[in-house]
A and B are shown apart, each in its own frame.
Chain A
Amino acid sequence: MLQRPVHPAFSTLRYALILLVVLFAAFPIFWMILTSFKPPGDIMVSPPRLFFTPTLDNYVHAIVDKDFLRYVTNTLIVSVISTLFVVVLGSLAAYSFARYNTGDGHILFFILSTKMFPAIAVVLPYFLIFRDIGRTGIGQFLQIGLDKPGALIISYTMFNLPFAIWLLVSFFQDIPRELEDSARLDGLSRLKVLRKVVLPLAAPGIAVTAIFTLIFCWNEFLFAYILTRKTWSTVTVGVESFFTLQGILWGPVAAAATLAVLPMLLFVLAMQRWMVRGLTFGAVRG
């Protein structure tokens, strides 16, 4: 749009409002991180304290007493493996849809509709199915069962594939077909064309999809809550476990919450250029 000459008062008002929006968006996260460095005497006091002597006690409590890093490791293992599955299976399928229009859009639409599944509607069957698989020999061997990583990995792969495929299709569609055609004319097999021409060109798109999938897996709550007990709980469930009957220790909670959220905050900042495209399933190319 054109920039019309604006009255300076409007310009000031505009920036004042933007500042307000920024404060509203950033404050809860800022306050959480701030609280994680507060000694107990400076939390839950009136008026709220902005200045205090920072301490690492809350982190020590969260990490040493509550073993919070175990939740972080669990989350990392489950999220990374799920993301690998999603990206590999998703790329193959997305290429097929983008290049060969497999299923004329009908299958792709079916896949998109499974993305609309409310997790809660299938979580009870998942619970029962994984409980039963976990009691079999093969379930124990593959670590699939309640409170086992395999159950979460399968659930996360299933729940992120539809989104990943849609996003990847939009990236594969951007690759000019002529490149593939001439590589084929040069005598490369279809699989070689995919491996040596298409995948390298699609690498940025695949990376974006991988990071989005990782964030979704990392932040997932319901499946982790239902399918794990103690050993394989992830960070979202771990933070919840800080709530005791005696009350809430806000310092350690804030420390654990910061540990749970910080990696994804950094990830998102690193990839902000792709946020819009990722969040709209590739439909809006911001």
Chain B
Amino acid sequence: MAATYATAGTGRPTHVARGGGMSDRAFAWALIAPAMAIILVFALVPLGYAVMVSFRMADLTRGGLREFVGLDNYRTVLFDQSFWESIAVTLKFTVAAVGLEMILGIAIAFLLHGATHGKTIVRSILILPLATAPAVTGLFWRNLYDPQFGVINWLLGSLGLPEPNWLGDIDIALWSVVLFDVWQWTPFVALIALAGLSSLPREPFEAAELDGASTWRVLRVLTFPMLAPVLFLVLILRTIDSLRLYDAVAVLTRGGPGTVTETMTFYLFRTGLKLFRMDYASTMAIFFLYALLVASVFALRPLLRQFTERAQAQN
């Protein structure tokens, strides 16, 4: 640090530089301009395009964009039962996957936090699922799920348990996608909860110990409240990701059997690129985008608050 600074400072008299003739303000805006240009163009243009298509007839099998149809597409989508079913599937998946990941992840964090040996290596192994592309490992899970030759059913069979048809049974297929997601993302919750646990201050816990507080009481009054902001952030990030789930469904089940694992994203994809109804697909995209944006505006306030607090602390 000191070295960099010293080299940078040599050979110049001590006076404030003109700063290239720009005010601080102009300089600050010039720095964000290129990134903002990209974000604005490539977020807003496609969005505007989707809005435009949603007011038109756009059946690609009959030659692309056609006449203006007002709110017809919105009406069609709102009365489309498959659309609502795909939302139900998405919500079911999200509640199950995120719920399991949070519970298991927090439990694993506590397990690891109390361990004295092998923490480093366990952490390294837990990171691995996070690094893999769901489109690739998800595909390989089809091998693990194979009803006849898969490792999972072999294990269940040798324990004398029933051997389900993981991806083919309409009652189980969605749970198989959940299980895959739990495999990939529970470590995320665990690692972050563990980081949160390790950074808690010692003093309150020492005081509680002296007062002879029970373990349960310490958890309820100290640990969880202090961990809450971190856990809330993890919950939000996981929820948003699960609502957008696409890759795992695409490679594991393709929405099937029937449509029992057809999430919102997959139905949208199928409508747009298999049935070539760009108009309905765009309309759904707008509903979906709106729902996610509203949710994230409320949910992501804490991140912003953290930023402003640090910004103020610096000034």
Contact = CB atoms under 8 A, between A and B. Distances in A.
Given A29-B137, A47-B158, A196-B7, 10 more contacts: A32-B140, A118-B288, A120-B246, A120-B268, A236-B135, A240-B135, A268-B130, A269-B124, A275-B130, A276-B192
A48 B9 contact: no
Residue among B146, B192, B281 with most chain A CB within 10 A: B192
Interface of B: 1, 4-5, 7-9, 12-20, 22, 24-25, 27-29, 31-32, 34-36, 38-39, 42-43, 45-47, 49-50, 53, 108, 111-118, 122-137, 139-144, 146, 148-149, 151, 154, 158, 183, 186-188, 191-192, 194-200, 202, 205-206, 209, 215, 218, 223, 230, 233-234, 237, 240, 243-244, 246-247, 250-251, 265, 268-269, 272-273, 278, 281-282, 285-286, 288-289, 292-293, 295-297, 300, 302-304, 306-308, 310-311, 314-315
Contact of A14 (B114, B230, B234): B114
A105 B296 contact: no
A109 B5 contact: no
Interface stretch (A61-69, A123-131, A135-143): A123-131
14 contacts: A14-B114, A18-B111, A21-B111, A93-B31, A101-B315, A109-B300, A158-B38, A173-B310, A185-B16, A186-B14, A187-B12, A226-B273, A268-B130, A286-B191
B39 A128 contact: no
A119 B191 contact: no
B166 to A, nearest CB: 13
A187 B13 contact: yes
A250 B212 CA distance: 58
The B interface is mostly helix, strand or loop, or mixed, namely: helix
A210 interface: no
Contacts, number: 367
A189 B17 contact: yes
B35 A191 contact: no
Given A89-B34, A96-B32, A125-B50, A109 B304 contact: yes
Interface of A: 1-4, 6, 14-15, 17-18, 21-22, 24-29, 31-32, 35, 44-48, 89-90, 92-93, 95-103, 105, 107-109, 111-114, 116-122, 124-126, 128-129, 154-155, 157-158, 161-162, 165-166, 169-170, 173, 177, 179, 182-193, 196-197, 200-201, 215, 218-222, 225-226, 235-237, 239-240, 243, 248, 250, 253-254, 257, 260-261, 264-265, 267-269, 272, 275-276, 279-281, 283-286
A218 B20 CA distance: 39
A272 B49 contact: no
B209 A187 contact: no
A187 B9 CA distance: 8
A190 B19 contact: yes
Contacts of B187: 25
Contacts of B129: 25, 28-29
Nearest to B287: A121
A92 B38 CA distance: 13
